[in-house]
Amino acid sequence: MPEINVPCLPGDTVYILLKHISGTYDIFETEVASVNFYAYHDKSVARIDVELPYPELSRNNTIGYQLEDIGKKLFLSLEDAENAMNAPQVFPKRRKERERSC
């Protein structure tokens, strides 16, 4: 099996983008709850579970991300999350709303 490098461990602070019912996104600071590895017939994958910001709103208090989500939905720094929020190709609706309010 190939080696899988995971850039965060349980207890590390990470940032996630979550969509509100209104359609806008916000950045939430949270912690990695666990890192799990799964082997399939042709590949191995890692799943990073992070704590939800409002665990009382859900029976399951974690949400899972794949390594491919790092830099898109899961971020290792607040700066990276903020940069993604400002990228028009990622969140065009949020950017347009922000420009109208200026």
Q: Give residue 12's identity as a one-letter amino acid code.
A: D
**pLDDT for 56:** 65
Task: Count CB neighbours of 71 within 10 A.
Answer: 13
The pLDDT value given to residue 19:
81
Mean local confidence (pLDDT), 26-51 = 88
Report how far Cα 88 is from the mean position of its chain's Cα atoms.
18
Answer yes or no: is pLDDT of 18 > 50: yes
The CA distance from 37 to 81, in Å, is 25
Q: What is the mean pLDDT of residues 10-26?
A: 88
Sheet arrangement for strand 44-51 = 62-66, 44-51, 25-39, 13-19, 74-75
pLDDT in tens, 44-93: 788 999 998 776 666 678 889 999 999 999 999 999 999 988 876 555 45
> Over the stretch 40-55, which tens digit does the pLDDT of each residue have?
877 778 899 999 877 6
| pLDDT for res 30 | 93
Query: Per-residue pLDDT for 12 more than 90?
Result: yes
